Amino acid sequence: MDSQPGSGPNLSQPRRYWEDGLGHAALRSAQVLLVLLLVSLGVFALTRISLVVIPVLLALILAAAIAPFVNWLRRKGWPGALATGTSFLLLLGVFGGLVTGIVFAIRSEWSTLVDQAAAGFNKLYDLVQSSPFAIDSDAIEDARDAVLDFATSSTVGNGAIAGLSAAGSFATGFLLMAVVLFYFLKDGDRIWAFMLRWFRGERLEKATLAGNRTMEVLGSYVRGTAIVAAVDAVCIGAALFILGVPLALPLSVIVFVGSFIPLVGATAAGILAALIALVANGPLVALIVVIVIIAVNQLEGNFLQPVVMGKTLSIHALVILLALTAGTILAGIIGAILSVPIAAVTWAIIKVWTGEDTGDPAEPAEVAESADADVAQDSTP
């Protein structure tokens, strides 16, 4: 029995439902949800192997920071192996000595710092309570107790300070970072060429430029942040020494470490210094400390960062704040330190891939030939 024209099911009708505005929105929403799901699964998987991910990221950042020095030694006539080995040992010594000094400078004084900060908070709280303004005392006390519980908990003692000197995960992570850093410095070009072997044409150009921008952003960020942190620590530490504030050395170290966390790190360290000055030296000295911290922050924001970092952190402050929050949730203090350079690199790669940053990438043919040569060499019996 033949069906009459116009009768029976219309097989093209379901397709029409996806051709209107709502259908397109539904398809796009499904794609976005799928991408978010894959990203979430990737982030979750990376957090499960943080002992591998964090050393590799640190090695990549340190390699980007020391790469100009390696190239400078090579231009001076040093053999490649000697330039790489010298730079590696120098960087490893500086990094290891810095971490060890920070641990020992803070660890021995940590309980005293917590007690002094708590006493300073209580004194400031008493001053605020005597003011004519209405203050919710319960909320302030709850916040103080929460901060003190966190500062004295095993999480901070084991993860942030004591864990750094333990012989377990820290030693393993440091050794892995050292090995990866050596190979990044020695064979970084070959590793990157091998990763680009699947790209051709315009995608190869963009991938090459994205890699160049990644190293530029990471190197500039680390060098610039280290300079800014050193200036902050020296200026604020010198003011604390001159004013006779106790625990000036560990406070200077905290300022140095805190400066690697944009927006909130140096401010939090300055608040800690002001609270200790309030207890030990009185309101006048504490006020002077606050003025010094504000002046140093203004110097940093208006002069140092634009000069030494340029456009490395050309991302909005809100994006930095969200990245800091996410990094802290995922990996604690290390996550807060690494989140901002990762966000800056992500933004640089997005600009390259969308065509906003065209740059001057390396010749695709040279990169492809280098990748093919490495593959052929690796496959030779």
30 to each of 18, 22, 78, 197, 377, how far by Cα in Å?
Answer: 12, 12, 56, 32, 44
pLDDT at 135: 57
Q: Is residue 376 part of a domain?
A: no
21 dihedral zone (left: phi>0; alpha: psi -120 to 50; beta): alpha
Residue ranges of the chain with per-residue pLDDT less than 50: 1-3, 11, 154-166, 361-381
Q: Is residue 77 part of a domain?
A: yes
Q: How many domains does the chain have?
A: 1
Task: Tell me how far apart the alpha carbons of residues 291 and 297 are, in angstroms, rounded to a whole number.
Answer: 10
pLDDT at 165: 45
* Cα-to-chain-centroid distance, residue 195: 24
Give tens-digit pLDDT for 54-93. 888 888 888 888 888 888 888 888 888 888 888 888 888 8
pLDDT at 155: 43
69 to each of 73, 76, 180, 188, 220, how far by Cα in Å?
Answer: 6, 11, 18, 15, 13
Place of tokens 């309570």: 129
Q: Which domain holds residue 215?
A: 51-357
Q: Is residue 236 part of a domain?
A: yes
Task: Tell me how far apart the alpha carbons of residues 202 and 208 are, in angstroms, rounded to a whole number.
Answer: 10
pLDDT at 164: 41
Give tens-digit pLDDT for 221-262. 888 888 888 888 888 889 888 988 887 888 888 888 888 887
Q: Is residue 114 part of a domain?
A: yes
pLDDT at 131: 59
Q: Is residue 367 part of a domain?
A: no
Task: Tell me how far apart the alpha carbons of residues 310 and 194 are, in angstroms, rounded to a whole number.
Answer: 31
Q: Is residue 351 part of a domain?
A: yes
CB burial of residue 11 (10 Å; 0-12, 13-18, 19+)? exposed
Q: Is residue 177 part of a domain?
A: yes
pLDDT at 101: 77
Q: Is residue 27 part of a domain?
A: no
